[in-house]
Structure formats: structure tokens, C-alpha cells
Amino acid sequence: MLLGALLTTWPALLNRYPLLYPDSITYLADGRRVARALFLRQFSDYYGMRSLIYSLGILPLHWSANPWPIVFLQALLAAYILWLAVRSLRPRRVISRYLLLIALLSLLTSLSWFVSLILPDVLGPLLYLSAYLLVFSRDTLSRAERASVAAVAWWAVASHITHLALAAGLCVLFALLWLVRCPPLRDRGRAVCEFALVVLIAAASQLALNAYLYGKPSLSGDAPPFLTARLVADGPGRWYLEKHCPEIHLALCRYVGHLPADSDEFLWNPQGIWPAAAASGEDRIRQEEIPFVLGTLRAYPRQQFSIFAANFWQQLSAFGLWDLEPNGWVLQAFDTALLGGKSSYQKSWQANDELPLDFLSAVQYWVVIASLVALVLFTPLLLRSGPPLFLGLSVIILPTLVANAFLTGAFSNLEERYQSRVVWLLPFLAGLLLFHWLDIRQNTKRRLGSATWHERS
């Protein structure tokens, strides 16, 4: 596992510094404010707009000075969960095949890039593999391993609102499959309940932390109105405001004359609607998000559904690494998150736009295509002779990839990063099926050889 973890850190080692995204700065900076409130009772009016539990969890690793320990922790978690998943299927030569698989995933897919990136993104696919381990392959884990996998799943769920939504969706899927007595889940009712309990505890942790910090329970804390920005940028939200503002009196109505056609402009431009409203203490836009969304969907259901479908398909097929290109804001805000290391970051390949992102994005694209072809070819084998654990892993990975594209594409911005962080699960599944096929071939040859020997005898 240590060797596997080292293999997944090569992008950071090549870059000579952990990879950073604009969101990385906020995660690195927000933990200090949360820690002061929790342990010193030094409260603040603002703690950040992203997962405070992830920010707090990585604080002891970097202490506003060195982000490398975060990369090493994420690498160890990835190596550990992948080891347990490969071992659960009991292939021949499990150690060599585990190392071969993790090496190929690290070199040819986005796995190692998200391990090297200071974001909770890599925890998403680790959560879905943890769900497989806790529900379908629970019997292959010791008590200590089940506890550690549950802890990883808890942190992953609490680290991103998308992870929470997809984990809740998996709980619903598991419950439905159990109710219809689907073979892989027929006797897994207790395991499903235990995984659902982990998800509930993670959600309760978010609610409790936000209640302590803000005085009211919330799953999203001080997050901007992402869905409002999305509907406005898509068009139906703008049409709804232009037609109904005289009678609905929403806070957005004061901006109806200059609504942007880009959600990034709405949310992040310093002169955009949300920054201007937040700076003036205007919280009504976020409070009125649900009425605005429901009103828009009632007024333009067909148009919005068509836009959702187009965004979903675009997100499903977009999984490059181009979002890891250098960003000027990261350099400007660097000192707010890390007190040292700016000169090291400035010398990195990422900061100087020298990372081979085009080449590696193309490689991952063809690896994913090849994996899809392999899965189609191996499906008859899986249905005919595949062990139930393979079916369980497929039941988790394939719907999760689709659901992730729907949630992020339909309800957030369209970014390559969103789908790229989970798409490496597809080559992982294809690789495991290839190992299973090789084992079947070896067993067949061994039986034929034995039969020939007996005949000659």
C-alpha cells in the first residue's frame, strides 16, 4: 500500500508542489477560523462557503505552512481503499495485480491528479468504493477494517455536498434492490442500514457544526446560491423574473435589468450580483432560492428539462484535466492560506503552465473509451460466471458516474473537473474484469491440461 500510495503522487512530485485550484485556497484558509471558534470560542461572522469539516480535517496537516502532508494522506487513503477493493475479489497474485492496476490508473487516468490536488474531490470515488466494501464485501473485512472504511466514508460524505447527495442516492438504490430481493443484496439488509447510518452521522455532523457556528443547522452553511445562478444563466430563471417580478417581489428583481448569462459572472465576478448582494448584507437571495427555483420550474418545465438534459450529457462526456491550468487568483490569494511556500509554487510546472494536460487528457479519453468497450465485451462473462461482488461493484460505479454528471451538470457549473474526478472508476472496473477473465482462462487451460494428462495415462 505504501508503494501504491507513492505511485499516485507522481503529478505532485513532477510539479514540485501540490496541485492547487482556486477552491484549494478557501479550504486551506477556512480551517483556522473554524478551529478558533471550536477550541477558543473566537467566533466570526464568516467561516467559508465550502465544507468546513474538510477544512478542519486538513488543518493539522498543513498548519498554514506546508500542504504536502495532505497529498500524502490522500494517497494513503486511495491506496488503502483500492487495496481492500482488489483483495475482496480474491484474484490470483493479488499483490502484483494490485500494484499493476494502481500503476496503470495513476499513469493513464485522473486518479493521481486528484490525489495530488488539494481538494476533497478524490474522496468522492473513495466514498463509492467504501460503500461497496461496507455493503457488498463486508465479509472480506476485519472489524478494524470495517471501522476504518466507515471513518473514510464519514469524512468523504461530510467533505462535499455532492458526496452527501450521491451517498443518499446510493442508500435509496440499496434499499430498493433489497426490497425486490436482488441477489447481491438479498441478505445485506444490516449492511445497508450500517452504511445509511454512516451517511446520517456525516449529515448530522454538518448540521451540528453549522448550528454551532451560525446559530442554525444547515447542510450547506454559507454556500452561495449555485442553483439560482444556474437557472438565471440557463435562461428560464431570467425569463421568470422578467415576467413575474411585479407580483413576486424577490430580492433578485432589483437586478432584473442586468442579469448575466454566465453563472460564474453571477457568483464570482467582484461586480457580479452575488458578491455585490453579499457585500451589502443582502441574504435574501439565498433565502429565496427554493421559491425562485420552484417558480421557474413551474413556469418553464419543458424548457428547463431540455436544458438540464443537454447540460447532463455535456458533463457526462467532459472529463479532461484542463481545469488544472494555472489560475491568477490562486497566486494573488496564496498568502491568505499558506504563510510560506509561495516561491516554491511559483516555480512549479502548474504555475508556469508547463503540465502536459492536453496529452494526459487525450490519454484518459481513450482509456475510458477502451474501458467502455471492454465492459461491453465482458458483460456476458460477468452475467454468466462473474461472482456477486462484481455485480455489486458495477451496481455502484455505473449509476454513480451517471448521477454525478446529472448533479454537477444540471445543478452547478459545467466543469471538466467534476466528471474527471470519478471517471477513473470505469477503467478500475474494467481492469478488475480483465483479471477475472484471465483467471478463467488459466483455470480452463489447467483443466484441459489435467484432462489430457489423465487420458494419456
The DSSP code sequence of 311-360 is: HHHHHHT---SGGGS--HHHHHHHHHH-SS-HHHHHTSTTTTT-S-HHHH
Q: Check pLDDT > 90 for residue 380.
A: no
Mean pLDDT of 348-359: 95
Residue of 428 and 391 predicted with greater confidence: 428
Q: Check pLDDT > 90 for residue 71.
A: yes
Mean pLDDT of 106-121: 97
Mean pLDDT of 165-170: 96
**pLDDT for res 449:** 63
Q: Name the pLDDT band for 436 (thresholds 50, 70, 90).
A: confident
Q: Check pLDDT > 60 for residue 66.
A: yes
Q: Check pLDDT > 60 for residue 453.
A: no
Q: What is the pLDDT of residues 323-339, one digit of tens each?
A: 999 998 999 999 989 98
Q: Name the pLDDT band for 225 (thresholds 50, 70, 90).
A: confident
**pLDDT for res 441:** 74
- Boundaries of every domain in the chain: 2-158+326-400+417-456, 226-299
Amino acid sitting at position 282? E
Q: What is the pLDDT of residues 11-61, one digit of tens each?
A: 999 999 999 999 999 999 999 999 999 999 999 888 888 889 999 999 999
Mean pLDDT of 221-231: 84
Dihedral sign computed on CA atoms, order 347, 350, 353, 355 = positive
Lowest model confidence (mean pLDDT) among 67-81, 113-127, 128-142, 408-422: 408-422
Cα 379 from Cα 384, distance rounded (Å): 8
89, 389 contact by CB (below 8 A): yes
CA distances from 7 to 3, 102, 104, 111, 338 (A): 6, 7, 9, 10, 26
Between the two ends of the chain, the Cα-to-Cα distance in Å is: 46
Mean pLDDT of 365-384: 86
**pLDDT for res 111:** 97
Residue of 379 and 176 predicted with greater confidence: 176
**pLDDT for res 42:** 92
142, 184 contact by CB (below 8 A): no
47, 37 contact by CB (below 8 A): yes
**pLDDT for res 455:** 61
Report the b/e string of 86-99 with b at 16+ CB within 10 A. Answer: bbbbebeeeeebbb
Residue of 96 and 386 predicted with greater confidence: 96
Mean pLDDT of 154-178: 94
Q: Check pLDDT > 90 for residue 5.
A: yes
Q: What is the pLDDT of residues 181-214, one digit of tens each?
A: 887 787 888 999 999 999 999 999 999 999 999 8
Q: What is the DSSP letter of 128?
A: H
**pLDDT for res 157:** 97
Q: Check pLDDT > 80 for residue 450.
A: no
**pLDDT for res 447:** 66
**pLDDT for res 452:** 61
**pLDDT for res 402:** 95
Lowest model confidence (mean pLDDT) among 35-44, 112-121, 135-144, 212-221: 212-221
397, 429 contact by CB (below 8 A): yes
Q: Check pLDDT > 70 for residue 347.
A: yes
Q: Name the pLDDT band for 279 (thresholds 50, 70, 90).
A: low
Mean pLDDT of 433-449: 75
For the chain, state the CA radius of gyration. 24
